[in-house]
């Protein structure tokens, strides 16, 4: 999905490997059966304008019900 793409094909040379992607997600979200994932509308700010114009801009929140942990992250994609 777009979450994986935003990590593996990140702009400005910050792309990670498939192994790094899996390691990061296993560390952040070890028990994936208890996650509530939301993709938010990002039109509340002009911060994401370039990403919306090019390849996409995304804001996700992930709530881990078991660990009571709330994580928010975003990605602005301008891919070649």
**43-80: pLDDT as tens digits:** 888 888 887 877 788 899 999 999 999 999 888 776 65
Check residue 74 and give its pLDDT.
Answer: 86
Q: What is the mean pLDDT of residues 38-43?
A: 90
Domain range annotation of the chain:
2-77
In angstroms, the CA 41 to CA 48 distance is 11
Spatial CA neighbour of 77 closest among 60, 59, 61, 54: 54
Residue 10 has pLDDT above 70, yes or no: no
Cα 57 versus chain centre, distance? 10
Across the chain, the runs of DSSP E, i.e. the strands, are: 35-40, 56-64, 69-77
pTM, rounded to two decimals: 0.72
């Amino acid at each position: 999905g777009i979450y994986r793409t935003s990590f593996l094909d990140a702009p400005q040379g910050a792309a990670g490997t498939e192994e790094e992607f899996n390691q990061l997600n296993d560390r952040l979200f070890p028990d994936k059966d208890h996650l509530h994932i939301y993709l938010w509308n990002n039109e509340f700010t002009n911060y994401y304008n370039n990403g919306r114009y090019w390849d996409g801009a995304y804001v996700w929140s992930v709530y881990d019900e078991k660990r009571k942990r709330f994580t928010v992250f975003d990605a602005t994609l301008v891919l070649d």
